[in-house]
Copies of this chain bind each other. A is one copy, B any other.
C-alpha cells in the first residue's frame, strides 16, 4: 500500500475542496505563468515575487523589483513586462528580482499558502518536478490554475502527465485525479492537437502567440524546479 496520496485541484474555485496544509503543492499554469517563471529562473532571474494585483507589483518596484503584470493574456496596461516566457529566455533579467502578477497562476499560488512546500510545474520541467515529489516525505496536491476560475485543458493535461509518472509512488485520491489521468492517456500522443482545441489556445493564438504556446508544451527543456521560499520563487534545484 502506497502511504502517500496525490490529488488534483482543477481550479482556484475548487480550492475549498482541498486541504493543502502539510502537503507539497505544485502550481500548474502552463499558459503561461508556470512556463515564464521556470524559463526566467533558469535564465538567471534571482527570484519572482508573486503578487495579487498590478498595484502590488508597482509597490515592490519601489524596493528594486522589476514590475511585471499580465491581465487577460496580455501585458497589463502601464507595464512593459508580462508573463511571456519569451521575455525571459535570453537572460535579459539575470540577477534581477521580479514582482509578478498574473490572471490565474499567482491566484492559485496565493490560495495554497497553507502548504508545507510550493513548487511551480509545467511541461517544461516535468521530470525535475517528479524527482522532487518522489523525494518529498508527504502528500501532494497538483493545483491547476485554469482560466478565470474555469478549468483549462492544458493544465489538466499537464496534471495528468504528472500523475502518469507518479502512480508508482502515490495513491491517487479523488475523482479529479482520475479525470486528469484519463485525459492524459487519451491525448498523450497528440498534445499539441489537444491543446489546439482549448479555449485558452484560441485566445492566445488570436494574439499571435502560437509559437509561445508550442514552446510552453515542450517537455523537460529545463532541469529546474521553482520553489517558494520566504514569499519568493527561486530556482530550487
Contact = CB atoms under 8 A, between A and B. Distances in A.
A150 B179 contact: no
A200 interface: yes
14 contacts: A13-B14, A14-B150, A16-B149, A147-B175, A150-B174, A151-B175, A153-B178, A153-B179, A178-B194, A179-B179, A179-B183, A182-B182, A182-B186, A182-B187
Given A11-B14, A14-B11, A14-B13, A175 B150 contact: yes
Given A13-B13, A14-B11, A150 B178 contact: no
The A interface is mostly helix, strand or loop, or mixed, namely: helix
Interface string A178-190: 1100110111000
Interface of A: 10-11, 13-14, 16-17, 147-153, 156, 173-176, 178-179, 182-183, 185-187, 194, 197-200
